[in-house]
Each structure stands twice: as structure tokens, then as C-alpha cells.
């Protein structure tokens, strides 16, 4: 006769066996979803012309204006360049200048009952000191299959590809059924408050809403790291929030020859260490759940088993994702990055005050208030916390069951057959965050497959755009416009 302990053990083993069987069956029943596509043959584009146009765009140094010493003149020159380079767009479109330097170009479709589509891009680029560059940063040199220079990736390459696609369709006599807006801000690299935000205010005041908005964002990853044969095309369905804080410690200073037991620098260093050691909780936001749900069917058996059963294996899987790769931590939690620290101006003086700036990227589902509460709790009462930037909470999450999302995925796989499009929370910032006021379906995708080396060039030295990738991106926008607006 079995003892009570043996019965409990048998029941426990039975429960474990049942759970494992459930997990295996669940994995086997998870199948790939087929995206219906039309046959798309590569277009006969003038690739040299497209590359030359990007080169000319780069030669106009539209650096984000953040100080009175800078000039807006390059933006006016850039507007002139666009009008001369894309005559059919400007002939058929209605141009509106917002706040002096941002642009709206409206191309009216034949069916006024359809809400319009907006394609976004920003004209401004980050600065590029000449030191360390292999090519003149604003020279737009074409060499070895690349267009070199600041903005070639972020994001004049994408803007040019988008405009080239529309100019091509108009040159072929194609007619728009749905109205198209091109919205080009001029200060995306500095929050977009004077550009994209003002564009949205203008559209809102004129009762204009969009069916969908497409902007930069997302990336293309090699699927091997997740046991996938193929490339993962990440589509940003939202973006994290942003705020900067200063942490200040104030303790009387003095001569470095006779230091006190503790200084402002000591206290600040401890606060920095504590905030790095005690991050905010990692969790599965809805976009991350959606991402792995769509990826799981494409994974090899072991990976598939793990991710299909994410809810059951959550604690272990979450820990692995956060620990193994920085991107894992970025999509799973609010991140803190210390970017500036200041103490004394002299090496032999103990400062009476020390400050550090922490850059916070706020996870979907949390707010600036949550972040501030966490920081204050971790660093303690002896550290003064001040908001350095205005900041903003995470954006809403766009609907991945919507028709615009389906058409975006369809366009991706038609032009990039080996890509697996999936949603995810964009970890950086774009102009797109401002557009939720006038649109529910806001998506971010950059149709360029970059090598790991070229990914590191964005905002850095030797930025460049692969000409073949530029041509493919143009074909992608041709297809996206056809699928959404014709």
C-alpha cells in the first residue's frame, strides 16, 4: 500500500509529465503563418541617378539647429534641391512649409472617402566633425559601392528612396487612389518639438487624420541568434519614453591634501553604482510578447519549444534575455545610462558639489513618474534629483491586426522574400511619436539591411549607404505605395 508521501510524489510527477506533454503538443501545433503576396519583379530603376541624388542631398549640411550661432540656410537650400530633383512630386503636390523649415507635401488621391497615408522623414542630421572620417562627411562621395557622408543612413537615404519611389510611379503614369502626405521635420535629432510636433498641430487644427503613418525605425537582424534561418525585420509598433535627470550631491569641499571621510564625489559615485545595480523590473510588455509569438514558429525545435512556452518558462527566459544581450535588456525594461559626470575643475580641489546626468529610456507600460520614484528610492535622500529635459512617456502601441500593418508586412516580404516581419518596441526615438494625436496606426520600419559594421556608423564616423541597398529600399517604397495607395 502506498504511503501518503508516495502518493504525493506520484501526483507531482504526473503533473510534471502532463505539463511537459502539454508544452510539447503546444509547440507542435504552432505553425508558420503564410502572408499572401503578389509577384513582384525588380524594377528597372536608374540606380546611378538615385545614388547621385543621395550624394547631392548629403552635400547640403542640414545639421540640427540648437544654438543661435547656427544657420537655417542649409534647410532652405535643401528645399530647393528637393523641388528641382523631384519635379513631378512638386508639380502634382501641394507644398506647405511649417514653422519656416519643416515640409508637408500633399498628393491628392482620387477617392476622398479614404483616409490618407503619411510617409515621414527628417531633414536634419547630427554634426560631423571632419577628424577621423575617411571621406569628407558632407562630401557625398560615391566610392566602392557606397554613398559616403553624414545622413546617408540617418535618414536622407530613406527619404531619398521614398521620394524616388513616388517620382518613379508618377513618371509611369500611375494614379493615386488614396491621398499621400510626405511630412519632413527639421529637428528630429532634437526632440522634433519645432518640426514634427508643429506639423501635427497644423494637421490636427485642419481636421486631417491619417489611416496610417510610416516612419524610420526598427532594424533587420540575423535570425541565427534565435535559431531562425533568415532575417528578422523588426517593425516598431511603439517607442519607449525618454527623460534625462541630473543627480547632484552637495557636501562641503576643500583641499585634496586633507580629504574628509566622505565627499560629494563619493556620495554621487555610490548613487551611480546603486542605480546601475538596482535597475527597474524587467517584464513582458505586449509588443515583446507579440514579437516572440510571431518569431516562435520560425525557430528551430529547441528555441521554438522555449519561446512557444514563454509564459511557463518566463522567469528563466526573461533572465537570459536581459543578461545575454544589451538589446534584450532594452526591450524588457527601462534603462539607465549615465552620460555626463562633473566634479571639480582642478585636480587638487575636492568639489563642494558633484553632478551626473542619467539618460532614461522608459519601458512600455511605465511612466516618467514611475522612473522618478524608482530613482529617488534607490539613490536616497542625500542626492538631489532634477529633471534636465522635458521628457515624454512611451507612445501608445499600434494595432498589429490592422490593415495597414498587414500591408506593410506584405510589402516587406514581396521585396525581401527571406525577411520575417515581426512587431517590437522601438528602443530609440522618432518623429512618429507625435503622430498618435492624428493616427492610430503608426509604424516604424527602415528598409535597409545593414552589416553589423555599418550599423555602428549611424551617428558615428564614416556613415555610409550601400547603393544596392538604396535601390532595394526604393523598390520597397514603390511596392508599399502601390499596396496602400493605389
Q: What is the pTM of this model?
A: 0.92
Active site residue 266: no
pLDDT of 361 strictly over 90 = yes
What H or E segment, with its residue span, contains residue 337?
Answer: strand 335-342
pLDDT of 13 strictly over 80 = no
- State residue 74's pLDDT score: 97
Average pLDDT, the chain: 93
Overall average pLDDT of the 451-468 stretch:
92
- State residue 422's pLDDT score: 96
pLDDT digits (tens, 9 = 90+) for 129-182: 999 999 999 999 999 999 999 999 999 999 999 999 999 999 999 999 999 999
Residue 218: pLDDT band with limits 50, 70, 90: confident
Residue 320: pLDDT band with limits 50, 70, 90: confident
pLDDT digits (tens, 9 = 90+) for 391-446: 999 999 999 999 999 999 999 999 999 899 999 999 999 999 999 999 999 999 99
pLDDT of 12 strictly over 80 = no
Q: Any idea where the domains of the chain sit in the sequence? A: 47-223+396-485, 241-281+333-393, 284-330
Considering the candidates 124, 141, 215, 454, report the single residue annotated as catalytic: 124
Cα–Cα distance list, 437 to 96, 209, 210, 338, 411 (Å): 20, 9, 10, 32, 26
pLDDT of 16 strictly over 80 = no
Q: Are 410 and 37 in contact (CB under 8 A)?
A: yes
pLDDT of 268 strictly over 80 = yes
Indicate the class that CATH gives domain 47-223+396-485: alpha beta
Cα–Cα distance for residue pair 302/314, rounded to 1 Å: 15
Let me know if 326 is exposed, middle or buried by CB neighbors in 10 A (0-12, 13-18, 19+).
exposed
Active site residue 94: no
Q: What is the CATH number of domain 241-281+333-393?
A: 3.30.70.360
Considering the candidates 141, 164, 188, 290, report the single residue annotated as catalytic: 188
Residue 89: pLDDT band with limits 50, 70, 90: very high
Let me know if 6 is exposed, middle or buried by CB neighbors in 10 A (0-12, 13-18, 19+).
exposed
Overall average pLDDT of the 105-120 stretch:
97
DSSP secondary structure of 176-202: -SS-EEEEEES-GGGTTTTTHHHHHHH
More confident call, 391 vs 39: 391
pLDDT digits (tens, 9 = 90+) for 342-358: 999 999 999 999 999 99
pLDDT digits (tens, 9 = 90+) for 222-264: 888 888 988 999 999 999 999 999 999 999 988 888 888 889 9
Identify the CA nearest to 182 among candidates 267, 82, 303.
82
- State residue 323's pLDDT score: 79
Provide the sign of the torsion angle of the four alpha carbons 124, 129, 133, 136, taken in this order: positive
Cα–Cα distance for residue pair 212/176, rounded to 1 Å: 16
pLDDT of 68 strictly over 90 = no
Helix axes 264-277, 368-379, angle to 10 degrees: 120
Q: Are 377 and 265 in contact (CB under 8 A)?
A: no
Amino acid at each position: 500500500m502506498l504511503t501518503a508521501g508516495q502518493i504525493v510524489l506520484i501526483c507531482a510527477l504526473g503533473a510534471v509529465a502532463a505539463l511537459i506533454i502539454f508544452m510539447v503538443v503546444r509547440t507542435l501545433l504552432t505553425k508558420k503563418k503564410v502572408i499572401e503576396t503578389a509577384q513582384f519583379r525588380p524594377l528597372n530603376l536608374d540606380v546611378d541617378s538615385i545614388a547621385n541624388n543621395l550624394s547631392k542631398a548629403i552635400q547640403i549640411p542640414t545639421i540640427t539647429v540648437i544654438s543661435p550661432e547656427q544657420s537655417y540656410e542649409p534647410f532652405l537650400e535643401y528645399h530647393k534641391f528637393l523641388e528641382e530633383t523631384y519635379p513631378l512630386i512638386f508639380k502634382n503636390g501641394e507644398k506647405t512649409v511649417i514653422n519656416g523649415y519643416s515640409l508637408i507635401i500633399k498628393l491628392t488621391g482620387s477617392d476622398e472617402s479614404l483616409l490618407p497615408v503619411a510617409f515621414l522623414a527628417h531633414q536634419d542630421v547630427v554634426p560631423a566633425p571632419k577628424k577621423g572620417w575617411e571621406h569628407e562627411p558632407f562630401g557625398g562621395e560615391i566610392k566602392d559601392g557606397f554613398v559616403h557622408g553624414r545622413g546617408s543612413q540617418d535618414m536622407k537615404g530613406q527619404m531619398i528612396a521614398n521620394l524616388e519611389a513616388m517620382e518613379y510611379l508618377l513618371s509611369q503614369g500611375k494614379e493615386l487612389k488614396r491621398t499621400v502626405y510626405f511630412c519632413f521635420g527639421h529637428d528630429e535629432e532634437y526632440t522634433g518639438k519645432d518640426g514634427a510636433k508643429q506639423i501635427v498641430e497644423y494637421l490636427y487644427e485642419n481636421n486631417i487624420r491619417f489611416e496610417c503613418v510610416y516612419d524610420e525605425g526598427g532594424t533587420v537582424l540575423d535570425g541565427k541568434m534565435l535559431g531562425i534561418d533568415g532575417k528578422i525585420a523588426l517593425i516598431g509598433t511603439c517607442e519607449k519614453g525618454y527623460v534625462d535627470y541630473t543627480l547632484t550631491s552637495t557636501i562641503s569641499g576643500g583641499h585634496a591634501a586633507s580629504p574628509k571621510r566622505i565627499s560629494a564625489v563619493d556620495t554621487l559615485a555610490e548613487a551611480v553604482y546603486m542605480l546601475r545595480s538596482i535597475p527597474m523590473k524587467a517584464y513582458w510588455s505586449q509588443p515583446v510578447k507579440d514579437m516572440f509569438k510571431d518569431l516562435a514558429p520560425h525557430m528551430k525545435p529547441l528555441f521554438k519549444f522555449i519561446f512557444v512556452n514563454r509564459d511557463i518558462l518566463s522567469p528563466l527566459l526573461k533572465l537570459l534575455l536581459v543578461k545575454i544581450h544589451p538589446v534584450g535588456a532594452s526591450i524588457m525594461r527601462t534603462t539607465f545610462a549615465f552620460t555626463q559626470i562633473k566634479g571639480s575643475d582642478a585636480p587638487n580641489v575636492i568639489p563642494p558639489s558633484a553632478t551626473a546626468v542619467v539618460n532614461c529610456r522608459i519601458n512600455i507600460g511605465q511612466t516618467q513618474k514611475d522612473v522618478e520614484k524608482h530613482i529617488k528610492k534607490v539613490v536616497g535622500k542625500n542626492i538631489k534629483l532634477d529633471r534636465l529635459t522635458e521628457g515624454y512617456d512611451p507612445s501608445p502601441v499600434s494595432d498589429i491586426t490592422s490593415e495597414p500593418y498587414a500591408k506593410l508586412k506584405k510589402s516587406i516580404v514581396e521585396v525581401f522574400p527571406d525577411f520575417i516581419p515581426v512587431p517590437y518596441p522601438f528602443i530609440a526615438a522618432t518623429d512618429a511619436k507625435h503622430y498618435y494625436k492624428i493616427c492610430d496606426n503608426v509604424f516604424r520600419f527602415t528598409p535597409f539591411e545593414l552589416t553589423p559594421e555599418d550599423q555602428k556608423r549611424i551617428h558615428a564616423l564614416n556613415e555610409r549607404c550601400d547603393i544596392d541597398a538604396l535601390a532595394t529600399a526604393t523598390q520597397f517604397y514603390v511596392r508599399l505605395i502601390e499596396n496602400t495607395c493605389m
